[in-house]
Structure formats: C-alpha cells, structure tokens
Amino acid sequence: MRVVLLGPQGAGKGTQAQRISEKTGAEHISTGDLVRAEIKAGSELGRKIKDYNDRGELVPDEIIIEMAKPYLSETESWLLDGFPRNEAQARALDEALQEIGRDLDWAVALEAPDEELVMRLSGRRQSQATGKIYHVEHDPPPEGGDDKGPFIQREDDAEGAIRRRLEIYHEHTEPLKDYYGEKGILVTVDATRGIPEVTGDVLREMGQPAEGGT
C-alpha cells in the first residue's frame, strides 16, 4: 500500500497518517519530519535545506524528492504526508517512483469546510510552560494543576494566517484531486467526522480491513 495524503491544514492528515500506519503497518513518511531530521543531523542535504530556509526560499522539489526517495524505496508500504503540494511536485514524485519501480496506489483527500478548519485551528492555545496544545472549545487549558501556562495563540493560528494558508491550498494543492482522479486512484473522505470514523472511512475506501476503526 503506497498512499499520498492530501488535505488542508487542520483536516487531520498527521493524526490519520499515524492511525492508519498503526493499523496497516505502512510507514508514515512526513516530509516535514524528514526535513527537520536532516537539518538537525547536519547532513549535506540538511545544510542545503537550511540554506534555503534561512533565505526564506522554498526548498526545490528535486531536493525534497532526493531526501524522500530512500524512504520510498526501502519499504513496500508507506503513507506520504506533506508532499506533493502542487502538480509539478506530483509529476516529480511520479518520475521518482518510476525510477525505483514503485506505483502509487491511492491519493486520499481529507475534506472539511474552511469555516470548520478556521474554528479548529484558531481555537488552539499552546502552553509556554509545557508546549502542550489545547483548544478553547474542545480541550480548554486547565485552571490550576501542573500546567500553569501561560496559554498563547501562535501567530500561525491567527485567523488571518489560517485563511491565507487555506487560499494557498485551494489554489495549488486542491487541484491535485483532479490530477489523481484522472488516474483513478483518488479517495475523498469527510474529515469533519470523529477521528476513529475518519480512519475507518479511509481504510474502507482503500479496501483495507476497517475493524477497530475506533
């Protein structure tokens, strides 16, 4: 099972990737985690990536592909989270998979209305004491107890920043649904349902056993 996960920020890609990985044995490959690991390791690739980040420039697609390719080739079953984000990256991924003799089985798109995503993300608060994330509605910061905060809203969780990221998603990443739909491998899932229900829906759509989608 080789899967690309698509969806706007706040749709739960990371959470679902972890759950599906646990239930299927597929490796969760987060390009964001790989980037941070390469930079922390101080590798040649990490230094290249850090140079782009320090200049405020996007890391070229070929560098991301170079970084991810060993992980894509070393395991038979994986979920790719965070890449591709546009059609050029999708085509670059197709070429890389062809080079290593792999095929993409599914592209899973998690869908939720913008207003739902704004509510989810803008309600988050992070404890400066522990780093733990809370939500003002669903998981309020504690009053008293071990975690005394203060509890702040990160700049990237401000409503304006969230809406800008959603605009970028709709313009550049959402069209990938058409790209993968034409290949006949697109699965769309309602991400507004509970986390276990979404996991079960994804597994069923991919023809995987959905037992324990709880």
Enumerate the active-site residues: 13, 85, 124, 154, 165
Coil/strand/helix, residue 64: helix
Residue 133 half-sphere exposure toward CB, CA atoms < 13 A: 7
Give the Cα separation of 85 and 175 in Å (integer). 10
User: Exposed/middle/buried for 184, CB within 10 Å: 0-12, 13-18, 19+?
Assistant: exposed
DSSP H or E stretch at residue 109: strand 106-111
Give the Cα separation of 89 and 96 in Å (integer). 10
* Spatial CB neighbours of 203, under 8 Å, sequence gap ≥ 6: 20, 23, 24, 209, 210, 213
